[in-house]
Each structure stands twice: as C-alpha cells, then as structure tokens.
A and B are shown apart, each in its own frame.
Chain A
Amino acid sequence: KAGVTQTPRYLIKTRGQQVTLSCSPISGHRSVSWYQQTPGQGLQFLFEYFSETQRNKGNFPGRFSGRQFSNSRSEMNVSTLELGDSALYLCASSLERGNEKLFFGSGTQLSVL
C-alpha cells in the first residue's frame, strides 16, 4: 500500500505570496489532518477533514485554509505569507477518526523569505 504522499517536498516563497500544498492519503483512509511543525512550537494542529467536511480547526489565522476532495485528497492554502509561516507542513491520514493512528507524509518544507 502506498503511503501518504505530499507535494511539493520543498517550497521557497516570498512574503505576501500564497501557496497551495497537496496531500494524497493512504488508499481507504478518509480522514486527512494537517499539522505545522516548527522547532519552537512542535507539532501544531491546523485542521482535519472527513468526507469533504472540515470537522476541526486549530488556532491559526484565516489565512490558513484547506479542503478535501471526493477522492479524499486534500489541499491546504496559505495566503499572504509571513516570515513566521516558514515550517514543515505535515499531512496525516487515518481511517476515519483523525485522532488516532495517524500516518504522516514526508511533509512540505516551506521557506518564506
């Protein structure tokens, strides 16, 4: 079974730009979660999707958004990038619940200059 696939692997953007990250979950997994990982804050929950519906959202500004498609693939978007958005963005899939046995992708390393 293929694992969780995230693209792109690396991104370099400048302040004010926007970015879209993509995630393909493990086949059969219907829940997709997104986490931001930074050295100072660790893993911070962004949002979770199931059946194209956002079930939970973390404490991030509205510049962070996401969606899920009917095939369970998910995208997240960050608009008006700030320097502090530089981080590793991790997507994780699970069968249904989004809060147990998460399988993470390799992440997208975003650098904002």
Chain B
Amino acid sequence: GQQVMQIPQYQHVQEGEDFTTYCNSSTTLSNIQWYKQRPGGHPVFLIQLVKSGEVKKQKRLTFQFGEAKKNSSLHITATQTTDVGTYFCAGPPNSGGSNYKLTFGKGTLLTVNP
C-alpha cells in the first residue's frame, strides 16, 4: 500500500536557525497536506498543495510540492519557540475511485532552544 515517509524524525535547533522537513510518497499524490501538532495537542491543518512544482508561503513557512508529485518539503525560516511541535505531511491514496482517507507520515518533531 501507499507509504509516506518523513525525514528527519527529530530536529533540534537554536532559535533563529532555519528548519526543513522532507516528505516522500511511494506513489504519486493528487495533493499533499501539512499539519502541525503542538505537544499535548491535536493536528492542525496548515496547507494543501495540488499542482506539480507548487510553492506556497505562510509568513516564515515555505511549502513545496515536487515536480513528480511524490515529494514535498516544509521550510521554516528563523525558527521561533512557537514553532515547536510535530509536523506531518499527508496525502490521499492515488488509487482512483473513492478513497476518502489520508496516509500520514510519521512526522518530524521540532524542538527549539531559546
């Protein structure tokens, strides 16, 4: 079945440093979504990318969708302590028909040293 892999599993940075997490799917994705889960919290939807090569920005966060629609990345510029949490990528199966579910990567836990 479809697998979504994320690296790194953990990342610790000093406040002000940049951070990047990478997501790779075993199959082509119709879209890629990113979620953030704060410690003790629940996943919160950040963004959805649909087009091949798409780049979207949200303040200090930059999201990219690969040309082959099998990989994606999230880059945070000048991290802040409020960025702490686990970042998940997720995509729907590309098996056609009605597959109303998401396959999540295992996430990247970001910790920030103030």
From 21 to 75 in chain B, residues with beta carbon under 8 angstroms from any chain A beta carbon are 31, 33, 35, 41-45, 48
A42 with B100, Cβ < 8 A, contacts A100-B92, A103-B45 known: no
> Interface residues of B, CB < 8 Å — how many?
22
CA distance A90 to B99 in the complex (A): 19
> Interface residues of A, CB < 8 Å — how many?
24
Q: Mark B96-110, 1 if CB is under 8 A from A, else 0.
A: 001111111111000
- Would you call A99 and B106 a contact (CB within 8 A)? no
Q: Does A74 contact B (CB under 8 A)?
A: no
Q: Mark A9-42, 1 if CB is under 8 A from B, else 0.
A: 0000000000000000000000101010000001
Q: Does A66 contact B (CB under 8 A)?
A: no
- Would you call A50 and B100 a contact (CB within 8 A)? yes
B-side interface residues toward A, CB under 8 Å?
31, 33, 35, 41-45, 48, 88, 90, 92, 98-107
17 pairs from A and B in contact (CB 8 Å cutoff)? A42-B106, A42-B107, A43-B104, A45-B103, A55-B98, A56-B100, A56-B101, A58-B101, A98-B100, A99-B92, A99-B101, A100-B33, A100-B48, A100-B92, A101-B33, A102-B35, A105-B42
